[in-house]
Structures are given as C-alpha cells and as structure tokens.
Structure 1
C-alpha cells in the first residue's frame, strides 16, 4: 500500500514533537523499601518523536506497537529501552515520553501504627537523543502547615491548612519516588495521613504546632534538601497553601540555577 506519511510535506518545516497523547496504560513501579516489590497502577501516557521537514507525517500506530511490546517495571533501563524502541520504529533521532500516574503507599499513623493508603501524583518524563537519556521525576505531596504569624499573635491557637509541595527534578541514574516524598513531607509542619486515631491526631497536631511554617519556609526547606541530594542535577519546587482563613491560596517556588 502507498505510504502517504513518508511522502513529501506540503510545508517543509521540521516538527519538534508529533505523536499520541492521553493513552491509558497499566504499569508496574518498583518500590524503594523492597526493590523486588512492584506497585501496580495506571498511567496516562504521552509519546512523541521529532519529524524531519521532508516527511509529511509520522506513523501513529507504531507508537502503540512500541507500548504494546513493552511490559517491564518502570526503571532507568526499561525506560531507555522503550524510548529506543520508539526511535527505531519511527526512524526518529529523538523521542519523548511522559507518564502520569497515582502512586500508592501504605503509611502508618504516628502513634497507633494504623495503616492507611496514601496516593501521590507522579510525573515521569524522558527524552532520548543519540542514545543519551535525560529523564525527570516529579511528585505532588500534601503536607500540613501552621501559620507562624497566627501562632505568635493568638492566645493558644493558630490557623492551619493543607499545602501541596510539587517537586520536579532532573537527575543522574535512578531516583526513588519515596525520596522526593520524604523531602516534601519533611519541609512542612507535619505530614498528612490517610487514617488517624485520636492519639494520632494529638501527635500530628502537637508536632505541627511545634513546627509552624510559612509557605516561604516550606519551599526553602524543600529546595535545600533537593540541592543536597547527590543524584539531583536540576529541580523546581512549588508550594501552594490552600489557606483556611483567606479567600486565596499562598504560593512560592524555587528553581535550581543548574542548567538542564
């Protein structure tokens, strides 16, 4: 049959990214605490290649074929294998991919030890060019914050709220999702939990009020920890506080000065 896509383009301009978006794919993600264990989840996948000026179009079915032929757990090697397969199938010089998925962890309450399932929104990106993989990992982490100003001016009380710490990194080698979650949670006044008994609520509240933090404090603490991480080459951290007594959200961000 005639291969229309490989024919000449009406407008001979190169395309930076062409491909497929919003594919749903079951994936397996390795865990830090037990490297042989995997978490099952469903990812939304975007997959692209560059297209030279002389080609009219790309072969969309080959993206799907690459995904269907790939069934490994997500790690550095399998990610690179998938992108290389895309480059080979599409005869492309450069391939891009993005996975977005919920990552589930069992988290024990601080006093009772009661287990509860937490979900974290994860983004995994990759670009392969000339056999060199550049990849990034991001995660959205909820934390609790207590306002230092409110605590200082009120008699025995202060307003508190949930904040989202959004971390995006570029790194060398493999970086665990759990590492970024730990950095984000440590930056807030307290972590949040899926299940809390009364004794747990007391511990969380007491700890949070002993560690009040503005949104500026949270973003700086997270940025410092990301800067100190030996595998992280670049990062951007954003903190958005869902204010409990204001009709707006508070926001702060810091981006690494290192080049991507």
Structure 2
C-alpha cells in the first residue's frame, strides 16, 4: 500500500502566516425554503481559511468536503445561512486554522408586473457572506444588486436655465415641470449584517431599492410603461450620492427594530451617458450612526 506524503503539513521555505487560502468559483445548486415559496439557485461559492507560519499549505479538499456536507442536507432557509454553516464547518474540518470566510453569489429571478399589467421575469444578483473566528460567534451578511434608471439633476437644471432663457414667457411653467437631462443605468448594491434574531428578506431589499429608483427595470415594456419609467426618473432626479443616502435611510427605517451596531453598506454606480467614465458612491456605516445623523439633521 502506497503511503502518500502530507506535503501541506511540511515547513515552508519562508515561515510567514497567510490570512486567506482556499478555493474560488465552486458552483453548487441550492434549494432555499422561504415562507410560502421554494427557490432554486445555482450558487457560486468562495471559501477560505488562514494558515499558520509553520504550515506549507492548506488541505484544499476539505473546502469541497464542507460544501458536500452542508449542501447535501437538502433545503436551507437562506444563502447567508449556507455561508454561516460552511464557515463553521471549515474550522471544524481544519483544526490549524483560526479564521474562515465564505462568500456566496447567485442570480435570483422573480416575476414583476409593469403598470400596463405585463409580467416578466427580472434577474437580480444576491449574495451572502459569513466570517468565523474560532471561539467567537459567526458574522453573517445578506445583500442584493439591483439595476435601475436615474436622471442627472445637474444637467436637468442646466437645460432648464437654457429653456427659460429662450422662452422667457414660459418661465413659470418651465420651473414647475422636469426638464431635459441625460439618463444612466445605475447599479445599487445593498448589504446588511444579519443574524437569526434579525432576519432579512431579499424581496424587501429589492423593493427598497426599486422604490428609491422610482420604477423597476423590466424586460417587457409597452409604450405606456416606457413613458412612465422615464417620467418617474425625471420627476425625482438623483445623483449617485442621493441614491446611496436614500437607500440607507429607507433601509434603517424599514428595519427600525435592528440594533445600533447593525452594519450596512450601500454603493451606487452609474453607467454615464455623456462621460467616458462612471460615477460612483458608497456608504459603509451602522444603523446607530445613521440614526444619530438623522436626528442631528432634524434639529439642525
């Protein structure tokens, strides 16, 4: 019988600890059971652990063993739960590691109706993450990426000034209606730290973002739907800065019972139509910090 040497456990040439060793791009079907529905996902999973300075390599195969152990159980209640279970299983299987991280992403489809009543399937990108430190509780997060349309408020006021100069008799009317501006397709990403005590529904996060945009982006649109989406964007034009602030505000208001140390991250990126570059904004904060900021602005 051949004895295969354990090369990973040997001493490396340079004894320096490594914080992240693992695998990326493990694809696996996940069956998620939520109240009233079951969702089939094809998820991309990234898994990693740390290794000490005196170890040449990690036992990479144990990452895949953990995936089979956890996802072979059948239905699970969310991808953040999958990430948590995998992260904890990694430390169980790899005793020389003290920290593990698991990230999961998947396309998520849900039906949406336009104002004209036409239904189509809309694709979103959902993600879950878990980080476990040995001897401590696991930190979980859940999030979503949503595409929408925003109209530039700067160009709108610029064209309004031009029109009011050209049509001086119509200044009252022109000041009361949206003006011409350029549009962008915008991607908003929202992530919240969560736990079993403070659950979050992906559909609620999607609704928050789409309400801030004014309308969802839909594959199937009739003429009236197209007009309404454009009109809704123009009656409430937004910079990327406006979008991230409004999404943070609405999320904290939605989950008013969440503790102050709940972390939230929101980013917004616009594919600019009149620039060769994109506009971008991001907020990383806590619910408590947002509540303090809102209170100061009310009484300022």
C-alpha spacing 1:159/1:8, structure 2 compared with 1 (3 Å): closer
Counterpart among 68, 84, 91 of residue 87 in structure 1:
91
Structure with the bigger percentage of helix: 2
Q: C-alpha displacement at 1:46, in angstroms? A: 1.0
C-alpha spacing 1:88/1:47, structure 2 compared with 1 (3 Å): same
Tell me the residue number matched to 2:184.
Answer: 161
Query: Which segment drifts farther, 5-14 or 247-256?
Result: 5-14
Residue 107, structure 1, aligned to residue 132, structure 2: no
Gaps of 5+ in 1: none
Tell me the residue number matched to 1:8.
Answer: 11
Native 8 Å contact 2:83 2:104 kept in 1: no
Q: TM-score, normalization: structure 2?
A: 0.75
Equivalent-residue separation in structure 2 for 1:242 and 1:207 (angstroms):
19
In the TM superposition, structure 1's runs of 4+ consecutive aligned residues that sit over 6 Å from their partners are none
SS, match of residue 55 in structure 2? coil
User: Is the radius of gyration larger for structure 1 or structure 2?
Assistant: 2
C-alpha spacing 1:30/1:245, structure 2 compared with 1 (3 Å): farther
Gaps of 5+ in 2: 164-178, 289-300
SS, match of residue 13 in structure 1? coil
| 1:44-193 correspondence to structure 2 within 5 Å | 44-71=44-71, 72-75=75-78, 77-91=81-95, 92-109=97-114, 111-129=115-133, 130-152=135-157, 153-154=159-160, 155=163, 157-173=180-196, 174-193=199-218
Native 8 Å contact 1:38 1:73 kept in 2: no
**Count, aligned residues:** 255
Q: C-alpha displacement at 1:15, in angstroms? A: 1.9
Calculate the aligned-residue CA RMSD, in Å.
2.5
Q: TM-score, normalization: structure 1?
A: 0.86
C-alpha spacing 1:12/1:217, structure 2 compared with 1 (3 Å): same
